[in-house]
Structure 1
Amino acid sequence: MGKIGLLKHAAGSLFIQLLLSFLAILIPLISFFFFSFTLLKNHATDEVIKYNTLSMNKTIEKYENHFNQIRNIGLDLLLDEKLNTLNRSTLDYLNARSLMRSINSYLGHKDIALHNIFIYFKKSNFIISGDRGAGADEMFSQYYQSADYSPAFWAEQFSKSSSFSILPSSTFKEKTINQLTAKGRYMPVIVRNKFFPDYQVIIMLDLNKMLHEFHDSSQDQFLLLDAAGNPLAANNVNEQVESTLPAWESGKNDVKQNDIYYFNKVGSVTGIRYVKIVPDNLISAQISNINSILLTLLIVFAIISICAAWFFTKRFHNPVKNIMQSIQTLNAPSAVQSSIHEFNYINDQVRHLVQTNNTIDQANSRKNSLLSYYAFMNKIKNIKLKDQELYDFSIQEPYRLLLFRLQFTPSFFREIDADEGKASFFVREYIDSHLKTYVQTQTIQLEHDLILSLVIGNSIQEDIPAFLSSLKTVFDLDQRYWSVTIGVGSLYRNSSDLTRAYEQVQALLDYRKLGNVTQIITAAEPLPDWQAAMTGGQEQELYTNLSSGNEEFVLRIVSKVLGQLEKKDATANQYYDFADNIVQLVTKTFASLHLDMQALQSHLALSGKARSCSNQDELQDYVVQLLTFAMARVNEKKAARDNIIEFVMKYMEQHYQDDITLDILSDKLNISASYLSTYFKTKTGMNFIDYINNYRIDMAKSLLKGADLRIQDVATQVGYQNINSFNRMFKKISGVTPSEFRKQQYLIEG
């Protein structure tokens, strides 16, 4: 048999046939892999550019989030109440130390690249940082000296209008006696608030830490530019590249110039342009690495495929009968048909399940579509009942709820010949008529001062729809008679959210500010600060001075609290809560001093309710008139003291240094001690022992302010033989110990 015959015989063997069959299957796979390799190779440059773009976007996100945190820290510090006490010629050391602790609490955050925080006080030209307090000139010429930023530069920043400024990085040094010591390279950030023009927060960012934390590699060539294109910070960028930056094209994040790729993007928060610089040879090296990896994978895949084909061919070649039976089974038409039948059966069952589910959905949809528009409106009238079933109707388009609250002024009741209900009805009719010219709507009257509108349609996408502006203009024409608050709910699409939507607009009405103008409040409004208008200490101090008839002090506290409410842009409810608190304190004072409660009730009835005040002037007049009335009654009672009270008080003033008891005084007056105690409390509103203790502590304060006496000597002179008893009583009445009181006086007097 010749060579040709041997080749034909070998080619006809089962082993060769199986091997060729496996290879025939593998060749398309290898071809597909080779095609994929070629395609990836051609698009490798695009993929590398995408990779660098994604890497840059990730880095920018870290920078932007970090700068946003920095701005929030600066704004928090500007709202610190201690700043008012520090912007004066005399430094309040206690508040200064407390402020430094607040600064250090931020500096302790490991995830923020902070080096130091300065709070710059304009009036006193003084700076408090995390580690010291110093004059501005001393701080920036000695401790943080920079060739780029002089002390005059920082002072000029008070005149800038922007609330958030990021300045170019600079090297800062500390000046000692013999030399300048480099502190590091920092990026200054200035945070200002137009409502607090006398303060600014300067935050030093650790540039090296930012570069280490925010970049995938320390070798990245990265550049930060401000809106004018001036460099803010750079990493591994030489001056030649920095001076030959390309022109940035709008909407294009990568630019190639002089064999260098510039990936750039403008931050959405800061407006900084971030530039990542990648030389073309680096991209070529990356592409070469990708090509090498792909080629290696192709070769490995081909070798593994051939080995696998050889292995499986050997396994099938040995059990010839099993292979033949398997081939017969696989090639039999019935087997193929059986396989297809099972596949079709499974598909038929899945199709049946899908059709059944669709049938159920269609049935539900048909059921919901049977509900009429008027049935839906009957349900919406009961929206405020939380247990109301709302699933029996649907709204097919986007919708919002608008809740209107009318607050009638005293001028309405004096000048308008109509009651509140009738006026509200006409307002509801006008609102309904006005809204129907723009959108599909239904308006209902919930209470005499509450009107609810449901607006539906695709034209209400804006947070404040345009048709509300014209409505506000009309309402403002009658602000003499009423003020209107409009709560604009969020955009909803499901009728199941109707109860939540109503609760939301109800809550929005509580955000109204005190004033006559119409106010439109949306869910985007920041939540108000719900802190109480007065601290517990202020409330106690106000009550004490109110009970003693100290009108000047009481009115000064009220003026201060109202000023604080105005400064933090308080809501109307916060003003009303403060007025209600004053009413409670006055009532408590009348009860404790046994004053004429009927006269107080008559005054309150004549003045009306505090919540009828439509602006701050009216509310301030209401509070001042109430307090003036109350203190007049208190002072009248003080002036009406009888001979017994006059004798007791005169004796106390002459003998407060001695031991004074009820027994001693009752013997002098020829009455019982128990009767004198009850009589004194009834006439003065204060217990005998509390009165003498308060008098002695007042005398002690005078001695602590004036004479340079030891505290023990002061205690003896005001009738306390035990220094511990004196200290306890002094702190109970004054809130501080005698030594702390003396230190405060030294600070106040300079």
Structure 2
Amino acid sequence: MNGFKRRIAASFALMIVLFAIVDVLIVYLVKSHVQADALQMSQLTVEMMAERYQSHFQRVEDVLSREFTDRQVVRLRKQLLAHTDPAMLNTRAVAEEFLRIVGESDLYIDNLILTFRSASLAVDKNGAAQAADLLADYSGEVYSLAYWNTQYERKAEYESHPAVHLSNSRHQTGTMTVIPYSFKPAFADYMLIAMIDADRLRAAMLDEQTDVNATIMGPDRFFRYTTAMDTRELPAILLAGGSPVDVSDDRFPDRSESSLEAVNRGAVGDGSSLSLDQTIAFIVAAEMSLAVLAAYLLGRHIYTPVRQMQLSVSRPFEDLVNVNERNERLKPEQEEVIPIRRNALNWWDGGFADFVESEEHYTIVLYELRFRLAADAGMREDISRAIVGEIERLTGEYVPSSLTYQVEQRRFLSIVPGLACGEIPALLEGLKQIFDRDTRHVLVTVAISPLFGSDIRLNEAYQQLQRILMQARPLEETQILLGAGKSDDDVVWTLQREQKFVAAMMVGDEEELVNLAHVTLEELDLRENSLEAFRRLAGAIIDKTRQLLFHCNLPADRVRQWDLSAERLDLCCTVTEYNEELGAYLKGAASLIKEKKDAEEPVVEQIMKAIQERYMEDLSLDVLAVEFQLSPSYLSTYIKEKTGLNFIEHLHDTRLRNAQLLLLDTDLHIQTIGSQVGYRNISSFNRMFKSRTGLSPSEYRRASMMNRKRLG
């Protein structure tokens, strides 16, 4: 009997195994097939959605770019810079232009807002108002005036912002959703914001696919907008751009690497998958019911063996649940273990603990080494070792109770007790004399902290010193910095200069590029900006140059070989070095473009050459049209298309550039200089010179002479 029971139990177990195998095969084949089709459909939906939104946002970018440089907007900015009486500001033309743009129904723009960094005025389709009052209609809980002021510090020109829900503003009644889209070129002091009506745009983008629930994200993977009618599915922090969200779940298709991403949040993971799971669950339930019936009919007399088998099967699952629960309890403890990066020197055991225990006040002196281009990799280690030796020697002589550590590869830190702080000036004077002996290879910047108490952590003090170091200027000497200096005034790379830069680069004009970089660096130095401001300017010029070369379709190996010279700009420490290295960098880029232009654009090259050689004559578009046997209208369009600027802009730029050189290098009368560069009317010369440089010819000459005296 027992043998029979065992055979019955074995048969029953075999039947269960067979059912399980069939279930697994069914689940694998059916679900994989259905999900593959669903994933493909979701992929197509996401790509179509992203392309539609991307195309529309590109149109909005074109509108913002065009309106940003509109003549009326530029004129209004100049009036604000000239501190014109608010009552005299010409804002009506700007508002009418904005109203015209808003009236274009296929753009779905609810409003255009022009804000200025240096003024509290803002202009929209209804006219001018205080910026805070005007922006309040579109602030929601997120976009205050303070938020938009922080946008002047960003690097990106175009920025889409998370959608915001509004209700009962002065522009509309009821509720609506807007997507702010702003445009601010690098170093610009005003910004243009398009308030896109997300609800109308959603209806146009989804067309007949009203059941699609997609989420739009920007290039930083922050949420911008969800097409779901019920936005409660997304937390409020996502709609405000609070944090990026990981959407790498297998249910979602891979996203494209464009500047806009659309993720379908419902096409795959909701209805179809749920219906499939319900079907499979029904099949499994039916099969298990048959198994139970067979067990009842065939095993009424073998209840105990079957029960034991059930217990033996269920116990492993109970153990697995217990293990999972234990892991969940341990997870918070594991997350509290944060890896700490420690320096090679154990400064705590080296004596700093004594400062904390004695609650003594202390001052920190931070030394930063800036190696110059003349110092190769082999020399730097020897120079660092020599400088450390001098620091330790003089510090031990003047302040024996101090502690000195190397905190980074090119930074050294001395902690001086409060009672010995009076010896710091003599110590630094001695070190400055030693450091200045070899400024050809290395420049040293010294930052001195205020007197800290024991309640200040060393990490906080070090961060303060890092901010002080950023105030270092591009000087060829040891600098000793006490506290934070004035903030940088580095808004010199204006939109107008960038346009000139693009025009000169596209024709390979090395002289114009080098002169433009020189004038910009000189102005930055006149404003006494920090070395960090010079690095930002060099970075902006390098980024723009790389963009232009990319669009020229130059050979990749040539571009990579030329771009290696950009690494030398990171080692520049003085204005002279920036002039030399940036000039060499731009000459290399211009030569690459010029080689391509010589083969492809001989006509525009000849036109630019004629302007460079005959700018002092009564040169006109009609004269050149006759010489090149082209119509004036075609020639004007051709020059604009190939260079980005029209003929008269090229002519004025060349004349004024040569006028600047004459003002700096000669003592000629201003009227004589104007005549020599092609201006027969002195008032026209003065007006054109001031509109391009911001200074009259006499003011420009006087400022340049003062700068030379200060530097020389």
TM-score class, shorter-chain normalisation, is: 0.3 to 0.5
Point out the structure with max Rg over C-alpha: 1
TM-score, structure 1 as length reference: 0.36
TM-score, structure 2 as length reference: 0.38
